[in-house]
Amino acid sequence: MTNEFEEYVREYSSELTRFCLSLCGNISDADDLFQETWYKAMKNYQQYDREKSFKSWLFSICANTFRDNRRLFRNSRRFIFGSEEEKTRFFNSIPDLKEADRDTFLTIHSVVNKLPKKQKVVLALYYFKDYSVKEISEILEIPEGTVKSRLNTAKKQIKRRLTNE
């Protein structure tokens, strides 16, 4: 492994962890997705175009791996914590989350996790990673109109499900 790649691992591991968790909804599947993403990035590092953002390339690998690997993430409907300590570590990793807001966070996250994978990936990139519609379009290799449509549909479904619950 090159020093440059090792620096990318140090720089992006924490963001990638949060992104994996926002996609999978549970720590076990998120860990699998995290490892698979870094494996693919390392394996294909020679193909990385240094003119483009490494972060976008990495998150593209992650989103595509999540989307393509249904078997690995088939149980990603809710948060599953192995222990109380794991749950505490998870909540402590979320900046500015007050203890009183934890139930609300879990409810919203549960609703988001019930979305179809295509909508969930777009939603996570847009709201949790602050990518623009154009950047998401490039990462997922889909038209910008499709990104906008998936975001709109996801927001409507979330609103409907939160209203019903």
Q: Could you read off the pLDDT of 31-73 as tens digits, one per residue?
A: 889 999 999 999 999 888 888 889 989 999 998 898 887 655 5
Residues 6 or more apart in contact with residue 123 via CB below 8 angstroms? 112, 115, 150, 151, 154
Average pLDDT across the chain, whole number: 80
Tokens of 150: 């998936």
Quote the pTM value. 0.56
Domains, the chain, ordered by start: 3-164 (1.20.140.160)
Q: What is the mean pLDDT of residues 75-94?
A: 59
Distance between CA atoms of residues 60 and 87, nearest Å = 28
Amino acid, res. 115:
L
